Amino acid sequence: MPLILLTNDDSIFSPGLKALEEALSGLGDLYVVAPDTEKSAVSFTLTIQQPLRVNRLDQRHFAVSGTPTDCAYLGIKTLLPKRPDFVVSGINLGANLGEDTIYSGTVAGAFQSSLLGVPALAVSAIENREGEYDFTAASRIVRKLIPFLLDHPLEEGKILSVNVPFRPKGVLFSKLGHKRYDSEIVEKVDPRGKPYYWIGPGHIRTFGEEESDVKTVEKGYASVAPLSLDFCDERLYGDLKKGEENLLATLF
C-alpha cells in the first residue's frame, strides 16, 4: 500500500481534511501532518525564526505549529515512518483559482512536497451561494486521480490543482486563468488608540480563456489544472535577447 501524506492550510481540525481522509481510506497508508491553526494565504512561508512544535494527536495525526510548507518538510523528512509516495493538500474550504494560486497555502503544501521529490496534488472545494460545502465530488475525483498519478508520476516542481464547484456537472482539464482582487483596506482604531489595518477581499474580477480554471468552474465543471513552478517567461526572455545589444550596454 502506498504511504500517503495529507496536509492542508485550514488546520488539522478542518472538515475538508477529514473528508479527504475518509475518501482515501483503503487507498493507502494515510498520515496527516497539518497546521494546528488556520494558515490560509501563507503561500510558501517557511518558519525559520522560531522552533516548530508538533503535537502528536495519535499514531497518524500530527498537529504542527507551522505552515503547510513546514508540514511538508517535517512530514516528508522526519515524522513519517518512511518517505511518502504521494502528498495530497486539501480539501481546502474555498476556491484556489487563477492568482489565488500565488497566495494559497494549500497549493504551496503540494508544491513544497513536489520540490522534495514527492508527487503531489492540491484540492479545493467551492461553496454554494449559501456558503455550504459538499466534498463528495472532490473526494471522488482525488480518489481516482491518485492511482493514476502513482503510475504516471509528475516531474518535480509540477502538481495538479483540483477545484471543485458545489455539485459539479463533470470534470475538465484546464489552464490557469486570472482572478484579481481589488482588496479594500479596513482602517480602524484599537482599544489603546492605535490605528490598525485589515486587508479584505474587496472586488474580485475573473477572466481567462474558455479553457481556463475560472471559466471551467463558472460553467459548473470541476477543474483539474497542471501547474509548474517555472516562473520564467519564455516570450519575454526572447524579446529581451532580441534587444540585448542596446539594453545591456546601458546596464553595465
List of residues contacting Mn ion (CB under 5 A): 9-10, 40, 92
**Nearest residue (beta carbon) to Mn ion:** 40
Q: Tally Cβ neighbours within 10 Å of residue 204.
A: 15
Whether the Cβ atoms of residue 104 and residue 92 lie closer than 8 Å to each other: yes
User: What does the chain come to in residues?
Assistant: 252
Least distance CB 238 / Mn ion (angstroms): 37
**H/E element, 62:** strand 61-64
C-beta closer to Mn ion: residue 28 or 71:
71
Residue with Cβ nearer Mn ion (40 or 139): 40
Residue 156: CB minimum distance to Mn ion, A: 24
> Least Å distance between CB 39 and Mn ion?
8
Is the Cβ–Cβ distance between 163 and 223 less than 8 Å? yes
CB nearer to Mn ion: give 40 or 212.
40
Residues in CB range of 89: below 8 A, 6 or more apart: 6, 7, 8, 9, 68, 106, 107, 109, 110, 113, 120, 121, 122, 123
- By C-beta, is 10 or 70 nearer to Mn ion? 10
